[in-house]
Amino acid sequence: MPQNQNKVTYGIDRMAFYIPEFYVPMTDLAQARGVDPDKYLGGLGQENMAVLPPDQDIITMGASAAEALLTDDNASPIDRRSIDLVIVATESGLDASKAGAIPIHGLLNLAPNCRTIEIKQACYSSTASVRLAMAHVMQHPSSTVLIIATDNARYGLNAPGEATQGCGALAMTVTQNPSILAIDPEAGYLTKDVMDFWRPSYLDEAIVDGKYSARMYLTGLINTWGQYSGITNKTIDDIDRFVFHLPFSTMADKAYRRLCQHTDHPEDPAEYVAGKQLNQQIGNSYTASLYLSMLSLLLADDGSANNELTGHTLGFYAYGSGSVAEFFTGTVIDGHKKYLLPDYHHNQLTQRQALSFDQYEDYYRFQSKIMSRDQGGNISIPTVSQSAPFVLTRISDHIRQYARS
């Protein structure tokens, strides 16, 4: 589809993700929990689950994702002084008061004249951040907004949600006339006060009613699609690919199927399948998940005729339990491939190490320990990551200390 070259657009200019060096294969998890592996591989659609090691947290993962984007040698460098707003979207916040964006701003050596905040509304807060960033660049056209979606998804060892854990960070910049995706102003959005998934501040694991949360996810999709299509007069045929928030990858199949049934549209899996691969390897990354699906879709674009995404309309569904949902669209920009860091992202996935099951449980319990009031305030952290740009080195008097490695 041709793009109007003269139209001023707003949206995503750069993207990069960071995941820890460690994962557990879903077949190992299934064996250890006495579950048929096909349930995890086929039923949930997951292959591997990223695991947070002791020396990583939402700050180090977020700073590492942003560092990759800021130091991309293949693209024109981003002027760090143009970044005047940093937003961290997370539901794994480490502090009830101080924004996680502040230590990330420090680790990245960004300019002091910058606003830094943290936003919360479950997995939806990354999309709230994008909307806030777009409003900011509309007012300040030369600004660059850095958004970092960073999370550690924890449900508990042996809990029903354990197979949908995961972790990771996705950094993106929002600018005027972006290089990757121009986002449309129209959207359908919904707030519905439900207790499908939540984490009281005294817990380090989420409480979830899993089946109910999946129903609420689908209810939000139908509602926000209805609002969006009513405003725009668009139908499913106007959307070239769907990009979903993915708590686990077969959620995309359920969502697409439900939308097709609701709109009496024939199902064509080719319209959505490509965005699931990163989630299958990483698991749920909460706030990062929707934009990881988008990156997964764009990275899989090999330029072949039936897979060329330039100029195509992507339909996005964001869902944050609790709940807030949004359906919106964007157009893929000509030349976007130059900004996707394919080698860096490939290495992120292929240079990981599978943990033994005991190590996985040890790493999980270590996170519980450092999040506890009794033990977490003063603790030295073993360095286990070999190639992480940033590591957590110790916690002294409840202050986390970080180093560039």
- Choice between 206 and 295, CB closer to ligand CAA: 206
Distance CA 334, CA 17 (A): 22
Question: Of 101, 123, 137, 147, which lies in the binding site for ligand CAA, with binding defined by CB under 6 A?
Answer: 123
Phi-psi region of 286 (alpha: psi -120 to 50; beta: other; left: phi over 0): left
Residue 105 is among the residues annotated as catalytic for this protein: no
**159's tokens:** 């809990």
Phi-psi region of 319 (alpha: psi -120 to 50; beta: other; left: phi over 0): beta
208 contributes a contact to ligand CAA by CB under 6 A: yes
- Choice between 208 and 278, CB closer to ligand CAA: 208
Residue 123 is among the residues annotated as catalytic for this protein: yes
211 contributes a contact to ligand CAA by CB under 6 A: yes
* Catalytic hit among 67, 105, 118, 123: 123
Residue 114 is among the residues annotated as catalytic for this protein: no
213 contributes a contact to ligand CAA by CB under 6 A: yes
- Choice between 121 and 321, CB closer to ligand CAA: 321
Q: Give the total of residues touching ligand CAA (CB under 6 A).
A: 25
* Catalytic hit among 47, 91, 162, 326: 91
Report the nearest approach of ligand CAA to the CB of residue 248 (Å). Answer: 6
Q: Taking a C-beta distance cutoff of 8 angstroms, is the pair 127, 170 a contact?
A: no
Q: With CB under 6 A as the contact rule, which of the stretches 142-150, 213-221, 331-339, 340-348 interacts with ligand CAA?
A: 213-221
Question: Of 127, 152, 227, 284, which lies in the binding site for ligand CAA, with binding defined by CB under 6 A?
Answer: 284
* Catalytic hit among 105, 245, 336, 345: 245
CA distances from 268 to 72, 87, 253, 305, 316 (A): 36, 36, 10, 18, 17
Torsion angle in degrees (nearest 10) through CA of 397, 399, 400, 404: -110
Q: With CB under 6 A as the contact rule, which of the stretches 69-77, 180-188, 212-220, 263-271 interacts with ligand CAA?
A: 212-220
165 contributes a contact to ligand CAA by CB under 6 A: no
CA distances from 169 to 36, 63, 148, 335, 344 (A): 30, 9, 7, 24, 14
Q: With CB under 6 A as the contact rule, which of the stretches 159-167, 175-183, 274-282, 365-373 interacts with ligand CAA?
A: 159-167
Q: With CB under 6 A as the contact rule, which of the stretches 54-62, 67-75, 93-101, 156-164 interacts with ligand CAA?
A: 156-164
Site string for ligand CAA, 298-327 (x = CB under 6 A): ---------------------x-x------
Question: Of 31, 38, 231, 404, which lies in the binding site for ligand CAA, with binding defined by CB under 6 A?
Answer: 38
Question: Of 33, 39, 265, 394, which lies in the binding site for ligand CAA, with binding defined by CB under 6 A?
Answer: 39
Report the nearest approach of ligand CAA to the CB of residue 46 (Å). Answer: 10
43 contributes a contact to ligand CAA by CB under 6 A: yes
42 contributes a contact to ligand CAA by CB under 6 A: yes
Amino acid in the structure at residue 327: F
* Nearest CA among 163, 173, 154 for reference residue 91: 154
Residues taking part in catalysis: 91, 123, 245
Please report, as ranges, the residues that interact with ligand CAA according to CB under 6 A. 36, 38-39, 42-44, 123, 160-161, 163-164, 197, 208, 210-211, 213-214, 217, 245, 247-248, 284, 286, 319, 321
